[in-house]
Amino acid sequence: MGFPKKFLWGSATAAYQCEGAWNEGGKGLGEWDEFSHGNPLNLNNESGDVSCDFYHRYEEDLNLAQQEGQNSFRFSIAWDRILPDGRGRVNQAGIDFYNRLIDACLVRGLEPNVTLFHYDLPAALAHEGGWARRGIVDDFVAYAKICFEAFGDKVRLWATINEPKYYSYCTNMVGNYPPNHRCDFDRYYCVLYHEILASAKAVSLYHEMGLPGSIGIVHDSSNVDVAEGTKNPERVRTIADFFYNRLVLDTSITGTLPAGLVPFLRDEGIDSSFAKDEDAAVFEQGKIDWLGMNVYNRMYVTDYTSGETEVFHNNVGARAKTKEGIRIKDWFETAVDPTTKRNLWGREIYPQCMLETLQEIRERYGDIPVYITENGHGEYETPNEDGVVEDDDRIDMMQGYIDKMFEAMESGCKVLGYYAWSPMDLYSWVNGYEKRYGLVYVDFATQKRTPKKSYWWYKDLIEAYRKQHEMQGAES
């Protein structure tokens, strides 16, 4: 495949994390609105009520993206801004807002890459059981149809669900995202299955409607590496791959459930009654056109038989020494590689995972088009005396991952775009606002935007890429 003639360079956001305006424009109440307004598990006592106020300031943010040389912009639609009650009454003001946003992208030469669900479930549906209730599949498809009809003539890149595995992991295993279940394996697999079923139904609907674009799903990179000295390494690898990857990837790309998954769950005493025979036809008809990959880290694991199941997560940064990970009795545990750097929240910084995950996808699933829909680095940041953030660590991290992406492309991987997370500082879920990912610094008190050093680095990188590759394409 190599390097495509047109490569999408963009940045990515999510509705609840950036829009603010939580009670404006006819928007309904969301699950995160309820959680952030008083749940004691909201450790940093922050919310997305205002965030970087993208709802009112999107033109300024899109101008900065355009001036940076970006040619695409990834954002999500807030389900509760379209359907305040999750189903039924359509909020025309929400439709109008996203039409304005899409038009603002197009007039600036930014290809909209639109995600239908990015963690922010309408509260009314959450109260009914959320994604653990099978009926939500049809609720999601009805919502998707409204969006396809409203925006499908202008949006050519759609994603159904952002990180279905990580959403289910945080809501049912870690318990840091609402509805805050912890180490609930039954619910983890049930929620994940319903997300994939809903995605497949929405993909099938999109294709039936004959719209002029393509549709995919976004998975968070979780390529499995087994630590040296692991007992029964192939068993450990297989179980970890089942847990992190295969239900999303096999089902969405090949249209079939991963072989052996349901029998494995039954043998382990995990409820698999959510899997119905009639779903097989839905999965077959709902194969994606492209795969989005949010690439941050690998899953580095070893065997674990000596203790009970535990989950570790760090949402308070340097104030804690916790490293992200999990121990699952008789399955596996997260291993620690002392040679690998970590950020202040305990996550590995491991550029090699970009190459490994892309090559693994190609080897396992063939030449499916891939977009790197997120890649970035969270930091504590303080502007210097000139008001500029010199975020060299972010530049070093992202350059390392991009170099490995290029290496994967040179080896034949079909990568069509890269999106930095994120264009500007925004709400980082339970992490609040101290953990900053933006290429543009936001003073949340004044909403003033100031490009960071990484903004200018990204601008130069995009310009250099275009000169080198797009001119070569024109000559050939």
Q: For residues 50 and 363, what is the distance between their CA atoms, to the nearest angstrom?
A: 44
Nearest to 254, CA basis, from 144, 345, 153, 366: 366
The answer to whether residue 19 is catalytic is no
Among the listed residues 68, 163, 360, 379, the single catalytic one is 163
Please state, in angstroms and rounded to a whole number, the distance separating the CA atoms of residues 79 and 116.
7
Out of 31, 360, 374, 379, the active site residue is 374
Active-site residue, 374 included: yes
Helix 92-107 to helix 136-151 angle (10° resolution) is 50
The rounded distance, in Å, linking the Cα atoms of 440 and 376 is 13
Residues contacting residue 338 through CB under 8 Å, at least 6 positions apart: none
Q: What is the DSSP string of 317-363?
A: GGG--PPSEEEETTTEEE---TTSEE-TTS-EE-THHHHHHHHHHHH
Residue 16 one-letter amino acid: Y
What 3-state class would DSSP assign to 386? coil
Beta-bridge mates of residue 294: 220, 374
E-strand ranges in 136-175 read: 157-162
Question: Which residue is it, tokens 């694991």?
Answer: 301
Sign of the four-CA dihedral 396, 401, 404, 409: negative
- Could you please report the per-residue DSSP string of 98-136? HHHHHHHHHHTT-EEEEEEESS--BHHHHTTTGGGSTTH
Phi-psi sector, 346: left (phi>0), alpha (psi -120 to 50), beta: left
Cβ(424)–Cβ(391) under 8 Å? no
Note whether 364 and 350 are within 8 A (CB): no
The set of catalytic residues is 163, 374
